[in-house]
Amino acid sequence: MATPVATTRLAKEYHAIAKNPPPYIVAHPSERNILEWHYILTGPPETPYVGGQYWGTLIFPPDYPFAPPAIRMHTPSGRFQPSTRLCLSISDFHPKSFNPAWEVSTILTGLLSFMTSEEMTTGSVRATDHERKLFAARTRWWNSTGGGTSTRTIPGITTPQSSNTRGNGAVKAGDGGVKFRKEWPELDEENWKIMKEKRIDPVSGLTVPAENSHGPCSPEAAALRRRLPGGSATGVGAVVQGGQVARDAGQSWIGRNKWRIVFGAFFSYILIARMLGEGVSSP
């Protein structure tokens, strides 16, 4: 339970951040617990996170502001391990370095700054800019479906073949987006509207082509489905997929031309044998 000092301080900070939010940041406390805050960071321009919707939590100690909060980011980003406590100078990993003058806006601004850097710490992961851009494009889908575990469907888009009881990238959400919808109902409806307009399958997170269109979904998005967001590994699977495609392509060419290869080899053998035979028989 929050102390009176913490309650007063956090209520004041909520009023301030709601009235004048920092760039690319919105946040509010939970209705049931003022010590539990939910934030959304929007990926800033000229970063691989541009346009991404990154949802996380700040869990404040009862004696805040004399101790820092635990910081987590739930949305897979390619920068942090989802739902993992982050070791930062502004988090509960370093209580002695926390300045009581720092506010929620200060903490979240610091988090956004650290996110757009390449500094490593406990809870962070390495990834390429390309991988992070792929994650950014899927953040809204992930937030509102709990990584593909939502039972909500979109007529004409959710296919009969769709089946995903666990979710793609559902590290510690897996709740069908219930938590996100409860804290961010307006953003959740906006996300579903975008998924409908872009024909994004709520189960897989992949684009479903219209009936009159041709071609499969984006291969980059398909590769991202095999990404491991919960660990420190950063391979996207595109390399594996590309290698398999190359092997299949090579096997297909050989299959189509195997008789030509056989006859060509046989003809070359006869020609070489004849030339060698003539060389041996000549005086």
Per residue in 176-203, pLDDT tens? 899 999 999 999 999 999 999 999 999 9
Classify 71 as helix, strand or coil.
strand
pLDDT classification of 219: cutoffs 50, 70, 90:
low
Q: Are 236 and 223 in contact (CB under 8 A)?
A: yes
Write down the pLDDT at residue 134: 97
By CB atoms closer than 10 A (0-12, 13-18, 19+), residue 136 is: buried
Q: What is the SS3 assignment for 94-163?
A: CHHHCCCCCCHHHHHHHHHHHHCCCCCCCCECCCCHHHHHHHHHHHHHHHHHCCCCCCCCCCCCCCCCCC
Active-site entry in 26, 50, 70, 87: 87
Asked if residue 212 is part of any domain, the answer here is: yes
Q: Identify which of 38, 80, 71 has the alpha carbon closest to the alpha carbon of residue 55.
A: 38
Write down the pLDDT at residue 1: 87
Percent residues over pLDDT 90 in the chain? 66
What range does the domain containing 189 cover? 1-236
Q: For position 132, which CATH number holds?
A: 3.10.110.10
Statement: residue 243 has pLDDT above 50: no
Q: Are 49 and 24 in contact (CB under 8 A)?
A: no
Write down the pLDDT at residue 279: 52
Mean pLDDT of 196-221: 77
Asked if residue 205 is part of any domain, the answer here is: yes
Range from 7-16, 70-79, 206-215 carrying the lowest mean pLDDT = 206-215
Asked if residue 253 is part of any domain, the answer here is: no
Asked if residue 115 is part of any domain, the answer here is: yes
Classify 201 as helix, strand or coil.
coil
Statement: residue 261 has pLDDT above 70: no
Domain count, the chain: 1
Asked if residue 68 is part of any domain, the answer here is: yes
Mean pLDDT of the chain: 82
Q: Identify which of 202, 151, 203, 146 has the alpha carbon closest to the alpha carbon of residue 179.
A: 146
Rg (CA), the chain: 27
Asked if residue 184 is part of any domain, the answer here is: yes
Statement: residue 122 has pLDDT above 60: yes
Statement: residue 222 has pLDDT above 50: yes
Q: Identify which of 72, 224, 210 has the alpha carbon closest to the alpha carbon of residue 142.
A: 224
Asked if residue 65 is part of any domain, the answer here is: yes
- Residue with the larger pLDDT of the pair 271 and 148: 148
Mean pLDDT of 100-112: 97
Q: Is 87 a catalytic residue?
A: yes
Asked if residue 220 is part of any domain, the answer here is: yes
Residue 266 CA to residue 76 CA, distance in Å, equals 57
